[in-house]
Structure 1
Amino acid sequence: MERRHFLAMLAAGAAAASGCTQPPPAVAEPQVALPATSAPPAVPRVPVPAGALTAIPGPGTSLALTVDDGADAEVVAAYIRFARDTGARFTFFVTAAFDGWTTHRAELRPLVESGQVQLANHTWDHPGLTTISRAAMADQFTRSKQFLLNTYGVDGTPFYRPPFGYHNAVVDEVAADHGYTVPTLWYGSLSDSGLVTPEYLLQCARTYFNAQAIVIGHANHPPVTHVYGQLLDIIRERGLSLVTLNDVFRT
């Protein structure tokens, strides 16, 4: 199965992966997440800046942890439990062809309806959009948009994340034709599109969990499910608040 590489962060104009280059072999024990609040932060919402979105502008203590793909249905389920049990707020960029988004609809939909979890478009089945025709691009957005509407009652607009971070003016135009006017990239990664150790994932979190950052993670492999409590520890130690994109942006 195709997996994005951390080099996509560079193509998206994101930070270099300093301090996150060689995964150590150690494996962390599963952690229990700590209690948190699901209430949105009391921060003023700001307009979405022009161009591709890579960070939350201005001063603040927000952290947008965005979760892509959903290749492993059990990891999707674990993220849902994490949100439900701790109040953590996420934006999921849904690759709609993965069956976990259908299998776990009943558990996820209430979190979407409350606004604690936001859904956005990550295409139907994750092609490199710059390598396919306009018609094929349109089909990717149409199918995923319809899936989100039918399954969760939302369409994910205006945010979309191009697979691998690859987009151009044509991709952005086709996306905008379907209501996705905000190509959403990132400035930091958990580097877990492929299989990594929990220790390496935490090393990346310590590097990139910073104020006003948009960080990318993936619901593809189990290691992230072993370190939820430690991720929350990093967030709390740094005085950060997890937010959805809708929490901080006016659209």
Structure 2
Amino acid sequence: MGDVSRRRLLLLAATVVAGGTLTAADWIYDRPVRPFAGISPAPPSPSPVLAAATPTPALLPPPDRSQRVRLPGGGVLSQLPAHGNTMALTVDDGVSSEVVALYIRFSRDTGVRLTFFLNGVYRSWTDNRDQLRPLVDSGQIQLGNHTWSHPDLTKVSTSTIRDELARNDHFVKNTYGVDAAPYFRPPYGRHNSTVAAVAADLGYTVPTLWSGSLADSTVITEDYIVKMADQYFTPQMIVLGHLNHLPVTHVYGQLVDIIRARSLRTVTLNDVFLPAR
């Protein structure tokens, strides 16, 4: 077999993605995730699928900032205000440094606006700091607090709740120079009055959940991710995704096609809501 054939075979093998089973809880709560112990992810190589996602014409810009509204008082945030054609794509965790890098490139190449709810424990956030920082500085990508190491906050002590949120808060400020407050996403979407009180004392007054999901907290097929995007990429939705597994990075073109076909404006939470007082 010649060198060209070998390269083609290796490229074909690299694109095969294992399918996964799915339960109803997979999109209701984001699933537990752990770092890849002892494995240093390889630098991402250029992706022909990602390159094809560059939109022509460009995606619609976010609404004018003069249209921002006050944050709703009390309770949780799970949907955008009921007007306009905005959608917030919010992506959690950061287990895979390669997936984080490809999401950053996706945002930079297409203009998609994103909110990352990060766990600072993962090395992806320092590996990709120099690439991500300019998009954070420009406001195209917003950072939110997802705790330091992703515990179920309803099953730990008050001091642990405080430490998890405060440690992640300090990491975001020291690494990216921004304040993630007031938005925090409790792992698995689980929260109670104790979690709310401790978080609010640290300035995190807006527990942020979701109204739709890509269901990709575990490894699932690319077709299923596109199916979920087709279902939930609609106005006023806050959509949950994850920065953990590669299949989603293979369908960026399809995701952008849905956004463009529906004339959606992707937004960060800061694009829509006035700063908390």
Q: Same fold (TM over 0.5)?
A: yes
Aligned to 2:193: 169
For the pair 1:158 / 2:182, whether they are aligned, the reply is: yes
Give CA deviations for 1:167-213 in whole Å, capped at 9, x if unaligned. Answer: 00100111111111000000000000110111000000001111010
Name the structure 2 match of 1:139. 163
What code does the residue aligned with 1:181 have? T
The secondary structure found in structure 1 opposite 2:143 is: strand
Secondary structure in 1 matching 2:144: strand
Q: Return the offset for 1:33.
A: 1.1
Q: 1:53 aligns with which of 72, 77, 82?
A: 77
Change (3 A) 1:37 1:232: closer
Alignment: residue pair count: 231
Q: Which residue of 1 aligns with 2:232?
A: 208
The 1-side partners of 2:62 and 2:235 are apart by 16
Larger radius of gyration: 2
Name 1:104's counterpart in structure 2.
128
Per the normalisation by structure 1, the TM-score is 0.88
- 5 Å matches for 1:210-225? 210-225=234-249
Alignment match, 1:7: 25
Which of 255, 264, 274 in structure 2 is aligned with 1:231?
Answer: 255
Does 1:34 pair with 2:54? Answer: yes
Name the counterpart of 2:219: 195
8 Å Cα contact 1:158-1:182 kept in structure 2:
yes
- Secondary structure of 2:238's counterpart equals strand
Q: Distance in 2 between matches of 1:6 and 1:101?
A: 30
When normalised by structure 2's length, the TM-score is: 0.80
How far apart are 1:38 and its partner, in Å? 8.5
1:86 Cα deviation (Å)? 1.1
Where does structure 1 lack aligned partners over 5 or more consecutive residues?
Answer: 13-28
CA distance in 2, matches of 1:227, 1:11: 22
The question of whether the paired residues in 2 share the 8 Å contact of 1:196 and 1:223 is answered with: yes
Task: Using the TM superposition, give the Cα deviation of residue 229 of structure 1 relative to its aligned residue in structure 2, in angstroms.
Answer: 1.0
Partner of 2:13: none
Question: Residue by residue, what CA displacement relative to the aligned partner does 1:98-153 show, whole Å, maximum 9, x if unpaired?
Answer: 11011000000010000010000000000000000000000001110000011000
| Alpha-carbon distance, 1:7 to partner | 2.0
Q: Is the 8 A contact 2:60 2:265 kept in 1?
A: no
The one-letter amino acid of 2:248's match is V
| 1:41, distance to aligned residue in structure 2 (A) | 2.5
Contact kept in structure 1, 2:106 and 2:112, CA below 8 Å:
yes
The alpha-carbon deviation at position 40 of structure 1 amounts to 3.3
Match of 1:25 in 2: none
Residue aligning to 1:90: 114
Write the letter of the residue equivalent to 2:143.
Answer: L
What RMSD in Å do the two structures reach over aligned CA positions? 1.8
Structure 2 runs not aligned, ≥5 long: 1-22, 31-47
